[in-house]
Amino acid sequence: MSQTVNENLNLSDDAAGSTGPAAAVAAVDSMAGRARTASRVLARADRNWKDRGLLAIAAALDAKRAFIIGENAKDLAAGRTNGTSEAMLDRLRLDDKRVDGLIAALEELAGLPDPVGTVLRGQTLPNGLRLRQVHVPMGVIGAIYEARPNVTVDIAGLALKSGNAVLLRGGTAAAASNKALLGLIRDALDSVGLPADAVASVDAYGREGADAMMGARGKIDVLIPRGGRELIQRVVTTAKVPVIETGEGNVHIYLDESADAAMAVPILLNSKTQRPSVCNTVETLLINAKAAAAGEVLAALAKAGVRLHVDGRAAALAGSTPTIPAVPEDWDTEFMDLDLAVAVVDDLDGAIGHIRAHTTGHTEAILTNNLAHAERFIAEVDSAAVIVNASTRFTDGGQLGLGAEVGISTQKMHARGPMGLRELTTTKWIVQGDGHVRS
């Protein structure tokens, strides 16, 4: 293990607690400076070199999976002791299947084209000047996220392939897992001659480390928060560093009058029950008052263990199916558990109106056999992802062929929706002449 790796891992949470904000700022400045140096190496690294780094990380995950799962078990045990919900523990958990998923994502990233240097547009002007606008790395990316150790690997892999260095703040709940993952990532980079400082963590400085990242304007080029509403809003409202806002997922599905139960039931079960703790899980079901599939859909969800928070009209459609009376807050809640808000609307206009009033701009879906309704829904619903007759769980970088994702952007700047390799680049204009001067 190189000296730079050891320097980053020897800091303990106890030590961080006694250092104070000034020491956290100094540490972040130092790490950001080393990351900047590392980013210059990555910016000129060719695809083969970066891909060797990705495959080295994948091999290390495979070789050290027992150690990683063992460290993750410590985080899970601490979470249970602290009363963490099962849904949150699910977000935190790493097992053999999930480690396999991380390895597969890294291998897929290695197989994807390198976005750096690709030409967005170009032309030769009448005066002979040759112009190209090309994709280039951001430089140093900061990521602040909660209880998701898989994000540590996803962001490191995406940053490496897109030529960026990254500073991470992964949250106390995943401290042991993230420390184990960070160590093997840095060792893997070092093993192929890439700078270990391309991936570093401020976890040892806790919340003060996150605060220092948010204030590191000019040292960190862009900051990406990933987590719940409180975390995201704190970063968006506090940071001096430019922020790509990732949003919570108050995801809606509209069950149109024409939708049949044979299609609707499996889609809704997948959207709600496959992994209820993640941001692309449906949180509100809107049912057309004339939908013949309504009763069967609600019964299937309840049978699967979903707690239905219903308005009065939905309660009537549910019949003998167990329900809970909805309260106004339910329409704006990201439950991240086996809870689902259910409302009845008169028509497509009512569904679109409800979504506009309560959406977080993440993902919305329509289940319909009416092509005109599908086209109106696509045109009039303004979210990062709009889905027709498929599960909302497909709003995911890996599922959409991006290899992985650094988060799902709900803003309308250069990145919207799942952010993969290209979304972690910016552009540069290259102007080439032959002694040209402007007249």
The four Cα atoms 345, 347, 352, 355 give a dihedral, to 10 degrees, of 10
Looking at the chain, the domain(s) classified CATH 3.40.309.10 span 251-399
Fold of 251-399: Aldehyde Dehydrogenase; Chain A, domain 2 (3.40.309)
Looking at the chain, the domain(s) classified CATH 3.40.605.10 span 3-246+419-430
| Residue (of 243, 230, 288, 253) closest to 385 by Cα position | 253
Q: What is the pLDDT along the chain (439 residues), one digit of tens a residue?
A: 343 344 344 333 334 444 689 999 999 999 999 999 999 999 999 999 999 999 999 999 999 999 999 999 999 999 999 998 887 898 899 999 999 999 999 999 999 999 999 999 999 999 999 999 999 999 999 999 988 899 999 999 999 999 999 999 998 999 999 999 999 999 999 999 999 999 999 999 999 999 999 999 999 999 999 877 788 889 989 999 999 888 778 999 999 999 999 999 999 999 999 989 888 999 999 999 999 999 999 999 999 999 999 999 999 999 999 999 999 999 999 998 999 999 999 999 999 999 999 999 999 999 999 999 999 999 999 999 999 999 999 998 888 887 777 778 887 777 888 888 888 899 999 999 999 999 8
Max Cα distance, the chain (Å): 82
Cα end-to-end distance, the chain, whole Å = 58
Other beta carbons less than 10 A from residue 262's beta carbon: 9
Residue the block writes with tokens 């980013």: 39
pTM above 0.85, yes or no: no
Q: CA dist 102 to 1, 97, 156, 166, Å? A: 22, 9, 11, 18
Q: CA dist 239 to 32, 86, 148, 206, 217, Å? A: 16, 31, 22, 16, 8
Q: Is 283 helix (H, G, I), strand (E, B) or coil?
A: strand
Q: Is 133 helix (H, G, I), strand (E, B) or coil?
A: strand
| Beta partners for residue 284, in sequence order | 252, 341
Helix then strand then coil, in percent of the chain rounded to 5, is: 50, 20, 30
Question: Architecture of domain 3-246+419-430 in CATH?
Answer: 3-Layer(aba) Sandwich (3.40)
